[in-house]
Amino acid sequence: MSHTFNGPENIHSQAKAALDDPQLRQNFRGAMDYLQDKRRSAFADPDEESKIRELSEAIRQRCLSKLPELLELLDANCSRNGMVVHWAQDETEANEIIANIAQQHQAKTIVKGKSMVSEEIELNHEMAKLGIECLESDMGEYIVQLDGDKPSHIIMPAIHKNKQEVSDTFEAHLDDFTPTVDVDELIQTGRTRLRQKFHDADIGLSGVNFAVAETGTLCLVENEGNGRMCTTVPKVHIAITGIEKVVEFLSDVPPLYSALTRSATGQAITTYFNMISSPRKSGELDGPLELHLVLLDNGRTQAFQDEEMRKTLQCIRCGACMNHCPVYTRIGGHAYGTVYPGPIGKIISPHLMGLEKTKELVTASSLCGACGEVCPVRIPIPEMLQRLRTEAKNPPKPDAIAIEGQASASSTLESLAMKGFAFAATHPKLYHTGSWSATKLRGLMPNKIGPWTQCRTSPKLASNTLHQLIKARNKRAGGES
Amino acid sequence: MRVYPAKPKTVYLYGTCLVDMFDPEAGLDAISLLEQQGLEVIFIEKQTCCGQPAYSSGYTKEAKSVAQSQMALFDEPWPVIVLSGSCGGMMHHHYRRLFQGDSALAKVEQFCERVFELTEFLVNVCRIKLEDKGEQTSVVMHTSCAARREMNVHVTATELLGQLDRVTLKEQAYESECCGFGGTFAVRHPNISQAMVEDKTRHLSETKAALLVSADWGCLLNINGAFEYQGHSMQGRHLASFLLERTGGK
Ligand code: SF4
């Protein structure tokens, strides 16, 4: 099944469709249970877990507090190492930069390692318009691309499919494929078909997990080796990343790397860890002849400008928040209609796309806090959601800068209701008349109250409020004494 | 970890709006439990609601005014015992956040430090020892997410049930998962909420426990409503009522 992205505005209908698909729900539940278990065993010692999380948070906060200067330093050091550094304000600029590089090399094919930022700028689509073919080489991305689909998870793009469904995809799109549900065989199939592509591609493109300012080093975390192939075999390597991925010191990397892999898949270490510091030097036998780094803003500075929302940028894209989210577990990644799904998607997408489009997204949470509890860099995701809800409902505070789509969810009716609530709650007499009459008139309560009663009976009010019972109790006590 | 004070002589009870309207008996039962511990319990008549509905819907200003009005009612330095982990979390954690950068913050923080959820107070401050006088039975417990993640009180609630000799605590699958209530979330995203509460009721009923208890009426409105809709006989009760009954106080 291919999932058209209709945007986060349509989360209601997209979620409904996902909820009505038993196979999809089973796939997600099974996969998330598995990933939760993995994470649990990777952090068996809760004290160690909290130490790692505190350290990771501190590192990310320190780096973000110096973001502008670290980016300058990164640019200087990467350039000194022989990379070409590009700054892109938005998707259009990023695509133009990449298209220009491709055109300079008369490139026809780009082989890609996993990069969510490339999804963010819809690179494949934009390059196709120019006659440049992008080939996904990460196994999950490869499957998703064969389907003409989008990733449903930031770490495991094809997690929405089970083995049988992967086999079905291969059968539909690959010649000489014999259907199988043997995972090794499926992977081997992908690997064999991809092998030649690495050699043929004109350009390799990858994401970046950590960009080290002090040394000008790009770190890439992966398990399949395709990342290394993409970044070493083609003549040109383009790395693209969001501006928030910069870290100050090389020594910041090991703790973050450990927090990342343990949170994501429960691995102590990944199969591959690439540290890229320059294009091929003279005398070296391999490596790209040209190395470009594209630094993308695309709304990140908006989050950066606000001290509280800046925490959103601490994210190291481990996916643990979605793996533990009861909403994500049930509706899966596509229903969100955003590149980044799950809890992190709900708090970063408003900056990337504006609140107007994402206002339904920020309400799609019970604020249960399962995400914040596992986030390795301790982003208080529920607080971020509460904050974004406030921004969606209200004009900016007098001293603050409006964020894109500010107040787009403001509703006169709801706002009146909430003002009424606040007025009543601060005026006890009025409030208690309200709850008194509610309990007294409970027979008149409608037994259908909108969406609540689609799966529940309506709540039953008691015949007296606690306030009344206590009054009566005190009276009795007074009478007895 | 929170540091707990010595046992006081007097406490305030914060009933919460849901207990007030839907299960006032639980409020009386909580008072009895606290009185059994030798405490004088003061119920301030003017208390209303902690302001969470406005807060979680993004009406920060309104929530702040409600918070202010509630805090003003509890001017003695006594602990404020809250009958819901979720409202407790609001008053213990989020009130601070509401007053970030406000000159009143220091005072607000003092108030927040005085807020305790009922079970954490019984266990960590009163060091209660319950004597089970009931028949052999089994219960399953649901803990609200805020109670668990903001107040850590699933630990104390479990400990209280553990003190009851003839009560077997059954553990449901996905115990720590949200029931799908989330205040306005349940009506704003009814289909997602439905999927969550249907899983929750299934996991709870699969334990075949005789009773369901919870120290949070938000979740109980949701779970009980779903059980009743499904024609299932399981109906959750407030933990305070269950504890009082088991110890012969009722
Ligand atoms: S928000 Fe936290 S848990 Fe979610 S992907 Fe980012 S780092 Fe991981």
Domain coordinates in residue numbering, chain B: 10-124, 137-246
Question: Looking at residue A2, what is its pLDDT?
Answer: 44
Question: Looking at residue A1, what is its pLDDT?
Answer: 42
Greatest pairwise CA separation for chain A in angstroms: 100
Contact B28 A414 (CB under 8 A): no
Helix (H, G, I), strand (E, B) or coil at B17: helix
Rounded distance from Cα A264 to ligand 1 centre (Å): 9
Q: Is the CB of A376 under 6 A from ligand 1?
A: yes
Cβ–Cβ under 8 Å, residues A40 and A49? no
Q: Is the CB of A316 under 6 A from ligand 1?
A: yes
Amino acid, res. A132: I
**Reported ipTM:** 0.95
- Among chain B residues, the shortest Cα distance to A21 is held by B195
* C-beta contacts of B98-106 below 8 A and 24+ residues apart: B98/B55, B98/B60, B98/B63, B98/B64, B98/B67, B99/B64, B99/B67, B104/B68
Q: Which CATH fold would you assign to the domain B137-246?
A: Rossmann fold (3.40.50)
Query: Which secondary structure element, helix H or strand E, spans residue B18, and what is its range?
Result: helix B17-22
Contact B51 A386 (CB under 8 A): no
Contact B229 A456 (CB under 8 A): yes
Question: Looking at residue A442, what is its pLDDT?
Answer: 66
A370 contact residues in B (CB cutoff 8 A): 145, 149, 176-178
CA-to-CA dists, residue B209 to A364, B180, B213, B220, angstroms: 32, 21, 10, 16
Looking from the CA of residue A342, the nearest atom of ligand 1 is 4
d(CA B166, nearest CA chain A) in Å: 30
Residue with tokens 């083609």: A234
Rounded distance from Cα A337 to ligand 1 centre (Å): 18
Residues B157 and B168: their CA atoms lie apart, in Å, by 14
DSSP 8-state code for residue B51? S
Q: Whose CA is nearest to atom 7 of ligand 1?
A: A315
* pTM of the complete model: 0.94
What count of other Cβ atoms lies within 10 Å of the Cβ of residue B6? 5
DSSP 8-state code for residue B86? H
Q: DSSP letters of B149-196? A: HTT-THHHHHHHHHT-TTEEEE--TTTTS--S-TTTHHHHSHHHHHHH
Cβ–Cβ under 8 Å, residues B132 and B163? yes
Residues 334-373 (A) with a CB less than 8 A from some CB of B: 363-370, 372-373
Question: Looking at residue A481, what is its pLDDT?
Answer: 42
Contact A373 B20 (CB under 8 A): no
Closest listed residue to residue A372, CA positions, set A381, A361, A363: A381
What count of other Cβ atoms lies within 10 Å of the Cβ of residue A86? 20
Which residues, at least 6 apart from B75, have a Cβ–Cβ distance to it below 8 Å? none
Question: Looking at residue A294, what is its pLDDT?
Answer: 98
Strands A217-222 and A210-212: antiparallel
Q: Is A225 left (phi over 0), alpha (psi -120 to 50) or beta?
A: left
Q: Is the CB of A242 under 6 A from ligand 1?
A: no
Q: Name which of B21, B31, B186 is nearest A435 (Cβ-Cβ).
A: B21
Q: Is the CB of A320 under 6 A from ligand 1?
A: yes
Rounded distance from Cα A304 to ligand 1 centre (Å): 17
pLDDT of chain A, 481 residues: tens digit per residue: 445 557 999 999 999 999 999 999 999 999 999 999 999 999 999 999 999 999 999 999 999 999 999 999 999 999 999 999 999 999 999 999 999 999 999 999 999 999 999 999 999 999 999 999 999 999 999 999 999 999 999 999 999 999 999 999 999 999 999 999 999 999 999 999 888 888 899 999 999 999 999 999 999 999 999 999 999 999 999 999 999 999 999 999 999 999 999 999 999 999 999 999 999 999 999 899 999 999 999 999 999 999 999 999 999 999 999 999 999 999 999 999 999 999 999 999 999 999 999 999 999 999 999 999 999 999 999 999 999 999 999 888 877 888 898 888 888 778 878 887 888 888 888 887 777 667 766 665 556 667 888 999 988 889 889 999 998 888 887 765 4
Amino acid, res. A423: F
B45 contact residues in A (CB cutoff 8 A): 428, 467, 470-471
CA-to-CA dists, residue A10 to A338, A362, A441, B226, angstroms: 10, 13, 38, 26
To the nearest whole number, what is the mean pLDDT of chain B?
A: 95
Domains of chain A: which residue ranges?
Answer: 67-302, 422-480
Question: Looking at residue B113, what is its pLDDT?
Answer: 97
Rounded distance from Cα A261 to ligand 1 centre (Å): 12
Q: Which residues pair with B81 in a beta bridge?
A: B13, B116
| Best mutation site among A55, A60, A314, A317 for ligand 1 pocket (most ligand atoms within 8 Å of CB) | A317
Residue-wise pLDDT tens digits, B199-223: 999 999 999 999 999 999 999 999 9
Query: Which secondary structure element, helix H or strand E, spans residue B24, and what is its range?
Result: helix B24-36
Contact B54 A415 (CB under 8 A): no
Residue-wise pLDDT tens digits, B98-146: 999 999 999 999 999 999 999 999 999 999 999 999 999 999 999 999 8
* Residue A29 burial (10 A CB sphere; 0-12, 13-18, 19+): middle
Question: Looking at residue A424, what is its pLDDT?
Answer: 82
What count of other Cβ atoms lies within 10 Å of the Cβ of residue A230? 32
Q: Which CATH fold would you assign to the domain A67-302?
A: Rossmann fold (3.40.50)
